[in-house]
Structure 1
Amino acid sequence: MFRHMLVPLDGSRLAEAVLPVTASLALALDAQVTLLHVVEPGAPPTVHGDVHLTQAGEAEGYLRGVAEAMAARGVRAAVAVGQGADVAGVIASRAAALGTDLIVLCTHGRGGVRALLFGRVAEQVLARGTVPVLLMAPTAVRREQVWTVRRLLVPLDGSTMAEAALPAATALARALDAEVALVMVVPTVATIADDRATAARLMPTAGAALLDVEAEQAVTYLQGVKARLEQEGVRVAMAVERGEPVRVLLDRLAGPDVDLLVMATHGRSGVSAVWAGSVASRLVARSPRPVLLIRIPRGGDQAGLQSDLPRSG
């Protein structure tokens, strides 16, 4: 898994925030890296405060400089220059043509800009194929900085769909000598947001009791997954958290003991809302850690753990 990584760069220092992550993964996985720049017709003269690379020759020269810096760290890096107004489309098509199995890119900015890039690149790539996408926020990281992973956070919901993230997480954990932290978020009556919310709030005592049962079931479920992964030689921790999924996961990611979030990208309501597209994009937009998004296979089982609260409608 992850033998060939595609890394789009626009020439800005912000985009280069992905380079320490790329180098660490490439060395740990013995993976090849292809650095890509897409020349856009009519592009502005600057991008994120840096000169925009608008000519194929200068783009290739820039990428070769980055490749040389990575080679000094022992990373095999090739360069490629594409052209087109649809940057996301060029990245997706180049990934398919090269046979890459991981795309690594910076989300560039905050709020709408990050959300736009997530939608145009990550969602398009995931929709068109099965290539995982590793996204990270721009930082002041220099090229030579070393990125280490001690713990990978993997949210689950009791479904095989969410478990689509586990093979990648376990492979990375072995390669990086890291721990996999399994987490399941069960809502409270105050934070439940799916079609059970009305019933839970009309009958708060009964609703709280049913959600408590759901939390107990989640513990049993995670214990089973933990035992399975430990049999494969992976160090595993587990936790059942209570509250609103995005807030809980962001709190975990803000702590010092998590270095990477690995998650599947689709699901359903209730506890599984963490895999809904809107929730995934909210996590990507606000996560202080890199986020590895894994495409759920088509036709996957959607069953997850949910209480028997009546649903509206």
Structure 2
Amino acid sequence: MNSIPENTLLNFKDDTLVSVRKDYDLEKPGRMDEAVDILVEWLKKQDHFVKKEFAREHLERRIIFSKGSVERAKVKLDRNCTLKTLMPTFYENINFKNDYKESDTIVDAILPKLTDDHYRCYALKCFAKRFDNGFTNYFRFSLAMIEYISAHDYCKGLIAILDYRETNLIEMIKKIDITELRHFITLLTEGYGMKIKSMHIIHTSKAIDTLVTILKQCVSAKIGQRIQVHKDMESLHKFVQKDVLPTEFGGDEKSIFELHDNWVNELSSEEFQKYFEAIKAATTNEMYRQTDKFNDEYMGMAGTFRTFLVD
């Protein structure tokens, strides 16, 4: 890939491609092509992969999201396909434009502008007072966005910003299924290889301490140390530059409501739905995997998710 294609949802800086590659020692001519070639040849030998052919641009982004490591990209691809096999509920079809009722109370988006150091921000503003339907559809929407940026983005990782100031946090905590949340975060970090640079939560009540405790049970110790709580936007702006943030977050970007609608429309489009159907079929057939290899990599018996999570 010689340049990053223009995109209606995601903007890039003029030096993003070169700068991100340079961080991983892949900026010299031919280096990225060599890395992708290695990944292509490796895929051909993976008998347990249902889908072995991916666009070269997709594989390049896998390498970038794996911090430039081909070996790490192999592991992430394997885990992504395996986790899709083990957790199909996250990939059930839903018409986001018509049936995603959570849009009335949970408004989120991956933001258009990159930070100066080429990180992408995710922002969420929640108004919900009750959570009778749980969070499964929200996780499905989030993973659809992640699939989109896996195909189109070029960045070093994510910064998450969660505004819960207008949320009934006690009711929300009651409805959190810790197992489901852990599975979702495992998919995000281990399946897609998303580096979470930091997580910023905006809330003023003491109940936020309980939420942070729950989150720390579901993420690695390293990510847990990156969780920060803010009482107002001024505090947030010390860590996240204002020009990338929506107006509701005190920034210069479009409204979070408009950005959310743009994502709903894109993820509901015929083009993306066709792509999503194809990419979610990238699963594994464990009958063809070497059991000892599965045990070595996932620390458990083949086909059991409980032991897989030990990692």
Same fold (TM over 0.5): no
Pick the structure with more strand per residue. 1
- The normalised TM-score by structure 1 is 0.28
Pick the structure with more helix per residue. 2
- The normalised TM-score by structure 2 is 0.28
